[in-house]
Amino acid sequence: MKTIVKTIPLLFAALVLAGMVQGIGQAQDAREIAPIHPVPAVPASGRAHDPVELSSNVINQFDGVGIIDRFGDGEIVIGDSFFRVSPDALYFKAPSGRPLLPSDFIPGKTVGYFFEGDRVIVTLWLFE
C-alpha cells in the first residue's frame, strides 16, 4: 500500500511533465507564421513628418478654408466656426507640403483643413 501511495505522486508528476514537453514540442513544430500588419507611422502632434504634395487646384481639395480666430487645447475656431483638432493632427505649409508645428498656426493666418468623422480636423495647411 505504501508503494502505491508513493507511486501515485510520481506518476502524476511524470504525466504533468509529459504534458509540458508535448506542449513545447507542438510550439516548436509550428510551421505557420502569423501575418505581420505593421502600424502606419503617424507622428505625434508637434513632431516633424514627411512633406505631402497638393495638386495645383489646392483650394478645392480642402473640406474648408478660413482664417484662424483661436487655436489651442485640441480645438480651433476658423471663420467663427468651432472645430476639434485630433491629437494626431498633421500640420503643413500649403502648397509646398513642408511640415510645420502647431505653434506656426496663429490667429489671423489663413488655413485649409481636412475633417475626419464629426468635424474633427486631422490635417491643417497654412497659407502664406
pLDDT in tens, 58-106: 556 789 999 999 999 899 999 999 999 999 999 999 878 899 999 999 9
C-alpha span between 53 and 97 (Å, rounded): 5
Is 120 within 8 Å of 77 (Cβ atoms)? Answer: no
pLDDT in tens, 25-44: 455 555 665 555 554 444 44
Q: Which long-range contacts (CB under 8 A, 24 or more apart) does 20-25 make?
A: none
Locate the domains of the chain by residue range.
1-31, 59-127
Is 65 within 8 Å of 108 (Cβ atoms)? Answer: no
- Considering the domain 59-127, what is its CATH architecture? Beta Barrel (2.40)
C-alpha span between 48 and 124 (Å, rounded): 14
Count Cβ atoms within 10 A of the Cβ of residue 95 and give its class: 0-12 exposed, 13-18 middle, 19 or more buried.
middle
